Chain A
Amino acid sequence: MSLAAWQRTSLPMLILSVLESQPRHGYGVSQALVEVGLQPIKGAQLYPTLVKLEADGAISATWEPAASGPARKVYSISGPGREQLATLRLEWENFSKAARALGV
């Protein structure tokens, strides 16, 4: 499986992790992933995931006026989002541990 495919599968966890430290707009989320060595994510993948997380109550969004140009939508993690992130991290760690035990 390619890095992009792993990234796609774990996108909700990655987004919540990025938003845990600070609120960001959509492009900022993608940039944060690139900064740690992951691939940039197109809006086609990123935006539907953000919408789903927002619908699930894991994140909230507000419009903030930009210094120049149109307003930007800024996403923040919510209380239920932090709980969801903790659960996802635990599942990820368990999976990684099991994979490492197999020599992966």
Chain B
Amino acid sequence: MFKVIANTQLSPNVWRLDVMAPRIAQIRQAGQFVIVCKGENCERVPLTIADASPKEGWISLVIQAIGKSTRQLVALQAGEFIRDISGPLGKPTELAAPGQKAVCVGGGVGTGVVHPIAQGLHAKGVKVVSVIGGRSKPWVFFEQELKRYGEVVVCTDDGSYGRKGFVTDAVREQLEAGGVDTVYAVGPVPMMRAMAQLTKPFGVHTVVSLNPIMVDGTGMCGGCRVTVGNEVKFACVDGPEFDGHQVDFDNLWDRLGSYKTQEKEALDLFLQECQCAKQ
């Protein structure tokens, strides 16, 4: 059993859960994830470890509430428990070399995933510029956290906060200014695809963190297979981070939609039950 010690809402649909998991907190590295199973009959949900304190023994999970499972997780209050957390899983981020410059791009919940990368880069002596975005001010989070590791550029679609426009515009400026060695981009598939397309002509190495559907997270099921450079890879053990210029985003996007019908059915039932409980 893993105890939730804090639950903070970061944006209209993103929450941060801090959970006691001392062993994982002690050894996790940037880019790794855990698989969380809330209890009996619950799904196994892969979540990136957004932050951790080896000393205090907690890990942070940044969760976007979309379907039933994620909504149940973000509803957990401090003092409640998650039955299963296994990890840390996946390969750690290949961090740029000390003295190099990296741009860390986070879109939506991806900002939570890019946070530990920026943290790891900074600790290694890499110059970090973070570019984060959301549709408007309430959707932007982790600005202060990322400022600890370097400059932060905030973009909003409507210009209500930071600069107006998409993260791609801000990253283009960074690339044009030159001196960028690596771009780390995490966000929705269309955002990562756009980012890879943007950086390619500049010849800048681009790392993306993929979020395919996963069951066990240890290489056993193969459900998370993605096509990278015409080879089939398992995101859970070969990734989750890959060379963005090699990833077949179309196939990833397509496979992510495998359970649309069932996800809607489960969510509708769940919302109905919530309504009944309230009445």
- Asked if A and B are interacting partners, one says no
| A residues adjacent to B (C-beta < 8 A) | none
